[in-house]
Amino acid sequence: MVKELNYTTITHVMESWESMKRTKNYETVAGSKLFRRLFDKCPQSKTLFGFPIDIDVDSPELLSSKRFLAHAVYLLEMIDTALNMLGPDIELLTDIMTELGKKHVSYGVKPDMFPIMGDALIYMLRDVLGDEFTDATEEAWKETYGALSADMIRSMVSK
């Protein structure tokens, strides 16, 4: 649960996120990397975003698509919003993640897709941050993503 994250974990996550945000056009760059990894590891997820399952993840048709780029930016904005709530608004964040989980059911998202998204998130952060992405930072991100996604998954399966 999000409520159980400690100060050190949140600090690692926030510092690495702020560092990543200094990348030029970070939302497009990082969001595109994340979605390419997600689509590569979970091809069926392409259809959740309105893309054909057989479209190549490196295809210019996909990568230059306004819809793809809009999803990339939107996801990074949502992550940013969630992370900014980790400290002062953690109770509200838990409620939001619970509602977001319920909403994702209507999109066709399945609980077993969350670990794949977590892998895509870690992959993107490692790629963008390079040497700044330490083992401690990776563990902090895994713990944080695990807590956020657990709240979403719990609401998806408790209908």
Which pLDDT band, with edges at 50, 70 and 90, does 1 fall under? low
Query: How do residues 107-117 score in pLDDT, each as one tens digit?
Result: 888 999 999 99
The pLDDT value recorded for residue 98 is 83
Mean of the pLDDT values across residues 93-121?
88
Domains of the chain: 2-157 (1.10.490.10)
Q: Tell me, what DSSP letter sits at residue 16?
A: H
Rounded to whole angstroms, the Cα distance separating 159 from 152 reads 12
Q: Does residue 159 have a pLDDT over 80? A: no
The pLDDT value recorded for residue 153 is 92
Percent of the chain with pLDDT over 70: 97
Residue 108, φ and ψ in degrees, nearest 5: 95, 10
